Structure 1
Amino acid sequence: MNNFDLIKMSISSLLRRKLRTILTLLGVVIGTSSIVVMISLGIAMDLSFKESLKQMGNLNVIDVYPSYDMMPAMGSRGSEGVKLDDQAVRTLEQIPGVEAVMPSKNAYMRISAGKMVGDVNLIGINPEVMEAFDFEVQKGRLLSSLDKDAIVFGQQVAFNFRNPRSRNQEPMHHMMFGQDMPQEPPLDLINDKMLLTWDMSYGERRANKPDTDSDYTPPPPRKVKGVGILEGSFSEKAYSAYINLNTLEELLEEENKARHVDKSKQRKEDRYQNIKVKVSDIQQVESVQEKIKALGFQAFSLSDMVKSMKETSRKMQAILGGIGAVSLLVAAIGITNTMVMSIYERTREIGVMKVLGARLNDIRNLFLLEAAMIGLGGGCVGLLFSYLVSYILNRVTAGFMGNMGGNIGISVITWELGLTAVVFATMVGIISGYSPARRAMKLSALEAIRTE
């Protein structure tokens, strides 16, 4: 018999026993869809993790901090640890795979704009590397090397401002977690005139001003202007303001003079509080991070979280896939049962085929093909049913999760998962039909013909 005859006979045999075939197919459909839907939940979880991390920051960026040896060896110089200075910047720039290096300094200062005041985390950076570190503006422009008193604000900074003379003195960003989230910021950070000061009670009513050291007089406020609002509402950049590093160092020097800080102590401190290192290829982040640690620095990146999340995701997919596999195991037993019953009912037919000269391999392939058709058909229908279930899950959960669910959804079926599921279901059918097929192949022709 040729392959076409085998296919025609297999289809004819399955159609003669429609009810049994449909029930067996239904078991494969349920088993396949269970595995696909369960694994799709794990895939969606993994993708949601990655999307959340991308919102938090760039996966290619490594944060570098000084490392202090708390238990230095006798006679070693490790007690002071490595410093974040210009030499450290040059060293980090020379590591293979490093695209850009951005040293930074932080200061917590107050900005006054008319009646509004806001306490802001001010970060001094080199404007030349802002584009390399994926700073994008929603409005205005980025800092330039010529800017001295210009500031670029994160999207959420404006909601941190309040009117200290108003009865409701809570910053507006506190409202963002409630029902009445403000649609517009309370002030225009680009066009409004602003003053930057170290005096954290600036603009407050006199009765509300905290007691301060009588020897301390804050430096006079400095006029500043906003030149841009950064893109991104939930990234780490959204809650800080950025200024030229040289300008911030001038402000810090003025503050140290006002507080009578000893210059010799200043020199012992790190020049920078943090250095960010951008790696050109995400695959090199781990190796570059290890090299930075070998230099004596502390190094952290979102890739550390990615590892942990991937491991959690793999475990979840294995557990969910195992739960779905139970259904497919039951379907495999159903296929075996169907094929065994088919052999009992077609014993005489098998004997006639052998007498007419059918090869043993043809008889085996006939039953294997029937089992494979059940697996393939059930796998395809099960996959289509899985897409339907996934669509319903995503629509239902989108209703009550809102923006918290992101753009990923609760269930994601990739084409690799779909193809694997269909192939796996077909293989389950073939394996389930192998033993009955061998039994049919070994039947005695004479005994088979005598069977009623």
Structure 2
Amino acid sequence: MNSIDIVNMGLRNMWRRKTRTILTVLGVIIGTSSIVTMLSLGIGMNENFKREIESMGSLNIIEVNTYYVPPEGNMGKRPKEVSLDDKALAKFKAIDGVDAVTPIMRTYWKFGAGKYIGGVSVIGIDTKSMEAFDFKVEEGRLLNEGDKGALVFGSYVPEMFYNPKASYYYGGPPPKADLISDKLIMTMNQEYGERRRTGPSDSSEKPPPEYKVKGVGILKQSNDEKDYNAYMDINYLKKIQEESNKVQDRQARGRYRYREVSKTSYDNAMVKVKDIKDVKKIQEQIKAMGFGAYSLTDILESMQKTSAGIQAVLGGIGAVSLLVAALGITNTMIMSIYERTREIGVMKVLGAELGSIRRLFLFEAGLIGFSGGIVGIGFSFLVSFILNKFGVSFMNFFGPMGEGSKISVIPLWLAGASVLFATLVGLVSGYYPAKRAMKLSALEAIKTE
């Protein structure tokens, strides 16, 4: 028998016992949809974890500092002293897979913008690396190399300013300073622009210097720390920080010494990795140099381990249904042998090869698995749609899940793998009945009938 004969005969035999065939296919549909739906819940959980972590910042960025923590088992060893200087930054940049590196300097300054004042965290960075670290402007431009006294502000910073002479009421519109057009004053004097406080004051004390600066851009909203900070060229920020510290140090008269700003080393740095898959590997390489290295993938990895355990349990529950369906296919094919004993005997007497008989039964079993897999994956998409349509609304009653959140996610690879797996289950379930049909004696079969 050729392949066409096997297909025609297989379809005819399945249609002859259509009720039993439909019930068997239904078992595969239930098994396939169960395991796909269960796995989709775990995948949806992973996607929500990733979206939540990404809202805190980029998963491709590693934050580096000098606070090295030895790995477990080496806690008794004293960490080696390292300097986060330009040489160290050059080593980071030379690591394969690193896209960009920038030193970081975190400070806090008081600003005056026309009639408004406000305290803002100012971060010094390498201006050449802003685009590489996903800085995007809503208004104006990014910092250029050599920009002195220029700042780029986060999207929420204009709302952090207020008029000290005005009275505000709860629920009123917040003031919004124009940080690009207004003339800006930047100082370490935290009382700048405030109403004079009552009580004695030492008029001989000289306040920290005031610097005329300019805003050149407002960043696009990113839902992370960029929205609340201002950014400036790190070299210029170091210079004015050192000048302000010297003035405040003199005013303190020995009561308190401000920490000197190092000209050669930095407190922190950021490393941008090209591929998120390499973040963990590069992070370990930086740690091996004696530096502390942290990234948001650390949190994501912990969440994914928890999710993997839940996903394994859910997948196991769905697999039980598919196992029951496999037993149903085996039972159907064995019953088919008993009902078609004479047909098998006639085929053998007419000279049909044993391989053809085996292929016939495997084709029928595989077709049951394939049909059940196709319909099952369609049913899974329907269940996934219902869960995402109505389930998210229900879950939002207990707390917002965030924009774009989904309870169930079925990627294309899962849909394709499910159909292949269901077909494979059908073939495996039909192997024993096919082998039994091959061993059936032709004379005994004809006699039985």
What is the TM-score when the length of structure 2 is the normalising length?
A: 0.84
Equivalent residue for 2:185, pick from 182, 195, 203:
195
Determine the structure 2 residue equivalent to 1:362.
356
Q: What is the CA–CA distance in structure 2 between the aligned matches of 1:29 and 1:80, rounded to whole Å?
A: 61
Q: What is the CA–CA distance in structure 2 between the aligned matches of 1:87 and 1:375, rounded to whole Å?
A: 62
Answer yes or no: is 1:230 the counterpart of 2:224: no
Structure 2 residue identity aligned to 1:202: Y
Q: Structure 1 unaligned segments of length 5 or more: list them.
A: 71-77
Determine the structure 2 residue equivalent to 1:316.
310
Shift of 1:421: 0.6
Answer yes or no: is 1:297 the counterpart of 2:291: yes
Answer yes or no: is 1:437 the counterpart of 2:434: yes
The alpha-carbon distance between structure 1 residues 356 and 131, as it changes in their structure 2 partners (threshold 3 A), is same
| Alignment deviations for residues 31-86 of structure 1 (CA, whole Å, 9 cap, x no partner) | 1111122222222333333344444333333221113689xxxxxxx788222233
Structure 2 residue identity aligned to 1:386: S
Q: What is the CA–CA distance in structure 1 between the aligned matches of 2:394 and 2:166, rounded to whole Å?
A: 36
Determine the structure 2 residue equivalent to 1:117.
117
The alpha-carbon distance between structure 1 residues 313 and 211, as it changes in their structure 2 partners (threshold 3 A), is farther
Q: What is the CA–CA distance in structure 2 between the aligned matches of 1:449 and 1:435, rounded to whole Å?
A: 22
Q: What is the CA–CA distance in structure 2 between the aligned matches of 1:66 and 1:314, rounded to whole Å?
A: 33
Root mean square deviation of aligned Cα: 3.3
Say which SS state the counterpart of residue 357 (structure 2) adopts: helix
Say which SS state the counterpart of residue 148 (structure 1) adopts: coil
Contact kept in structure 1, 2:79 and 2:290, CA below 8 Å: no
Contact kept in structure 1, 2:209 and 2:244, CA below 8 Å: no
Shift of 1:382: 0.8
The alpha-carbon distance between structure 1 residues 119 and 101, as it changes in their structure 2 partners (threshold 3 A), is same
Structure 2 residue identity aligned to 1:448: A
Q: What is the CA–CA distance in structure 2 between the aligned matches of 1:313 and 1:142, rounded to whole Å?
A: 39
| Alignment deviations for residues 140-197 of structure 1 (CA, whole Å, 9 cap, x no partner) | 1011234222210111223333444555588xxxx9xxxx9x8x97333322333323
Contact kept in structure 2, 1:32 and 1:378, CA below 8 Å: yes
Structure 1 residue identity aligned to 2:433: P
Structure 1 residue identity aligned to 2:325: A
Q: What is the CA–CA distance in structure 2 between the aligned matches of 1:307 and 1:326, rounded to whole Å?
A: 29
Q: Structure 2 unaligned segments of length 5 or more: list them.
A: 71-77
Answer yes or no: is 1:339 the counterpart of 2:333: yes
Say which SS state the counterpart of residue 441 (structure 1) adopts: helix
Q: What is the CA–CA distance in structure 1 between the aligned matches of 2:17 and 2:27, rounded to whole Å?
A: 16
Shift of 1:3: 1.7
Shift of 1:226: 1.7
Shift of 1:313: 4.0
Shift of 1:115: 4.4
Determine the structure 2 residue equivalent to 1:241.
230
Q: What is the CA–CA distance in structure 1 between the aligned matches of 2:448 and 2:209, rounded to whole Å?
A: 109
Q: What is the CA–CA distance in structure 1 between the aligned matches of 2:313 and 2:201, rounded to whole Å?
A: 59
Structure 1 residue identity aligned to 2:238: E
Q: What is the CA–CA distance in structure 1 between the aligned matches of 2:425 and 2:215, rounded to whole Å?
A: 65
The alpha-carbon distance between structure 1 residues 383 and 168, as it changes in their structure 2 partners (threshold 3 A), is same
Q: What is the CA–CA distance in structure 2 between the aligned matches of 1:69 and 1:36, rounded to whole Å?
A: 42
Contact kept in structure 1, 2:84 and 2:265, CA below 8 Å: yes
What is the TM-score when the length of structure 1 is the normalising length?
A: 0.84
Among all aligned residue pairs of Structure 1 and Structure 2, give the percentage whose two residues are the same amino acid: 54
